[in-house]
Amino acid sequence: MTDTETRLKALMLRGLDGDAAAYRECLGVLGVRLRAYFARRMSGASGDVEDLVQETLLAVHLKRSTWDSSQSFTAWAHAVARYKLIDHWRRRKVRQTLPIEDHIEFLAADEPDPGVGLELDRALATLSEKQRTLVSDVKLTGLSLAEAGAKAGMTEGAAKVALHRALKALAERMRRANG
Amino acid sequence: MRTDDLIDALASDAQATDFGPTRAPPRRLAMVAGLGALAALVLVLAWLHTRHDLMPAMRGGMFWMKALYTALLGAAGYLAIERLSRPGGSGRRGWILGLSVLGAFSVAGVVQAMMSPDIQMTLHMLRGHSWHVCSRNILVLGLPMLALGLWVVRGMAPTRPTLAGLATGLFAGGVAATVYGLHCAENTFTFVALWYSLGVLSLAALGAAVGRWALRW
């Protein structure tokens, strides 16, 4: 378990230093863990699980400056996931209590297959055509931000700003979506 | 959209945007304090005016004692919100400092009131010259910083919105009350322990009430 913390923390630190491949790997590992975490607490509904995984990953990305790197990364990510889960229940008006959990348990690994999230697509649909293309086209290996921007008719600088704004808008819209 | 594709977009964004230490909570909260103090100062200069005896008063101990008290309350708010603005953070250190300072100053206020020769003198210390406006003035001076603070904290990641609002209000109240000392000529522990504290606590209460629904992300 602490191996995962060591590994994730190292990847995240490299990611914060600008190593995009490490950052991508960190989010990938975290995504698998989050899927298992939410699936265990939300009997069945795999669409909801994937929505929450995606919403939480967006939050982890946009709020990463609030992680104090002298503290545990897993504990921080767990607190984000827990907040998103409770918020999800609050919006759905589901009365559920989440027992106090250790973040070690947060890492318990069983790996359900990724489901299909719907909220992200709904949120994407509210963005402008350009932003939508940009978010779905950009790849770390494959179409770079500059190329994806060119495809959407933007300079690289404009694409940077547009991508960041699009991600913030997606996070906000997923949060407001009723479920 | 598949989660893997989303992660690609997030990683591309991380690569593209500069991510300096300026984004971390301490820096952003320091900016809030700076701008909040400036707004309070402008309000004092334009609306309340500084006390006439500011220069001689600054040579006395009570001027600095008041400033120390309110600055410590603000520091307690800072310590609490610096933790509460992060997921899973606890404001314990800040609450302990805030309650200790409040307790110590209240004791000083009560002792000073009890040592006064007669009840008229005690009432005089309690009312001062400005009891009817003091708390309200501090509240008004702190509003710009409270609004800015809540907005900035909302951009961070508080997982306990009510407590985070309370801490933001205490932070704003401490800074505003410190700046208010440039205007207010009251100089007894009794007065400050009651009316200054009420002004600061009203900002904290307002912060908690607004934070409860505004600090969601």
- pLDDT for position A149: 84
| CB-closest option in A23, A68, A164 to B11 | A23
Residue B43 has pLDDT above 70, yes or no: yes
Residues of B in contact with A75 (CB under 8 A): 88
Q: What is the spatial distance between Cα B89 and Cα A90, in angstroms, rounded to a whole number?
A: 21
Residue of B2, B3, B31, B216 for testing the chain A interface, max A β-carbons within 10 Å? B3
What confidence tens digit (pLDDT) does each residue in A45-75 have? 667 899 999 999 999 999 999 999 999 999 9
- Which pair of tokens denotes residue A172? 């906000």
Residue B49 has pLDDT above 60, yes or no: yes
Residues of B in contact with A16 (CB under 8 A): 19
CA distance B39 to chain A (A): 26
Average pLDDT over residues A85-105: 76
- Mean pLDDT of all residues belonging to chain B: 94
In chain A, CATH 1.10.10.10 sits at 118-179
Residue A169 has pLDDT above 80, yes or no: yes
Q: Which of A54-63, B15-24, B196-205 is the least confident region? A: B15-24
- pLDDT for position A68: 94
Q: What is the spatial distance between Cα A154 and Cα A11, in angstroms, rounded to a whole number?
A: 31
Residue B217 has pLDDT above 80, yes or no: yes
Q: For residue A63, which of A171, A174, A175, A173 has the smallest C-alpha distance?
A: A171
- Which pair of tokens denotes residue B152? 């900035």
Helix (H) or strand (E) holding A36: helix A20-41
Residue A31 has pLDDT above 50, yes or no: yes
**Is B8 in Cβ contact with A139 (below 8 Å)?**
yes
- Which pair of tokens denotes residue A1? 């378990």
Residues from B in contact with A at Cβ < 8 Å: 1-17, 19, 23-25, 85-88, 156-157, 159, 216-217
Q: What is the spatial distance between Cα A83 and Cα A93, in angstroms, rounded to a whole number?
A: 15
CATH no. of A118-179 = 1.10.10.10
Q: Which residue has the higher pLDDT, A120 or B207?
A: B207
- Nearest 5°: CA angle at B143, between B140 and B146? 150
CATH no. of A1-117 = 1.10.1740
- Which pair of tokens denotes residue A166? 């699009």
- pLDDT for position B99: 98
- Which pair of tokens denotes residue A9? 């923390």
Give the pLDDT band (50/70/90) at residue B16.
confident
Average pLDDT over residues B15-42: 89
The 3-state DSSP composition of chain A as helix, strand, coil percent (nearest 5) reads 70, 0, 30
**Is B217 in Cβ contact with A59 (below 8 Å)?**
yes
Q: What is the spatial distance between Cα A7 and Cα A71, in angstroms, rounded to a whole number?
A: 14
ipTM value for the complex: 0.89
| CB-closest option in A18, A57, A83 to B7 | A57
Q: What is the spatial distance between Cα A103 and Cα B78, in angstroms, rounded to a whole number?
A: 27
In chain A, CATH 1.10.1740 sits at 1-117
- pLDDT for position A46: 67
Domain ranges of chain B: 25-214
Q: What is the spatial distance between Cα B34 and Cα B156, in angstroms, rounded to a whole number?
A: 18
Q: For residue A88, which of A127, A41, A44 has the smallest C-alpha distance?
A: A41
- Nearest 5°: CA angle at B78, between B74 and B84? 140
Q: What is the spatial distance between Cα A171 and Cα A123, in angstroms, rounded to a whole number?
A: 8
Tally C-beta pairs within 8 A across A and B.
123
**Is A79 in Cβ contact with B88 (below 8 Å)?**
yes
- pLDDT for position A45: 66
Give the pLDDT band (50/70/90) at residue A179.
very low
- Which pair of tokens denotes residue A171? 């996070």
For tokens 């609030």, what's the residue? A66
Residue A178 has pLDDT above 60, yes or no: no
Q: Which of A23-37, A122-136, B32-46, B145-159 is the least confident region? A: A122-136
- Which pair of tokens denotes residue A160? 């940077």
**Is B7 in Cβ contact with A31 (below 8 Å)?**
yes
**Is A20 in Cβ contact with B15 (below 8 Å)?**
yes
pTM exceeds 0.95 for this model: no
Q: What is the spatial distance between Cα A163 and Cα B6, in angstroms, rounded to a whole number?
A: 12
What confidence tens digit (pLDDT) does each residue in A121-160 have? 899 999 988 888 888 888 866 678 888 888 888 888 888 8
